[in-house]
Amino acid sequence: MSEFIEWQALGNVLLFGLIVGAGLPTLFALGVRSLAGPGARGEDGQVSLGRKVVAYACFGAVVLAVVGAVAYIAAGGH
């Protein structure tokens, strides 16, 4: 079968697909949880600075990944 399936390429797609394709949504979810999850709003009804920093770090990483992907497409690397 190795003649018909490029196992190594497939393994890479699966591995990095999981890291990026499942990892980024998870990061985004952690950001959402940090901003709006249980206990996010303190007694004064505001989201604490620490939680905001965590959330925007998560969103920032996701945005960076998207920008990186666009650059990658533009560079003709696909």
Q: Interface residues with other proteins (CB under 8 A)?
A: 3-6, 9-10, 12-14, 16-18, 20-26, 28-33, 35-38, 62-63, 66, 69-70, 72-78
- Separation of alpha carbons 66 and 76, rounded Å: 16
- Separation of alpha carbons 14 and 3, rounded Å: 19
Provide, rounded to whole angstroms, the least separation between the CB of residue 11 and other proteins.
9
Which of helix, strand or coil describes residue 60?
A: helix
Provide, rounded to whole angstroms, the least separation between the CB of residue 72 and other proteins.
7
Provide, rounded to whole angstroms, the least separation between the CB of residue 43 and other proteins.
18
Which of helix, strand or coil describes residue 24?
A: helix
Which of helix, strand or coil describes residue 56?
A: helix
Complex with other proteins: residue 6 or 42, whichever CB lies closer? 6
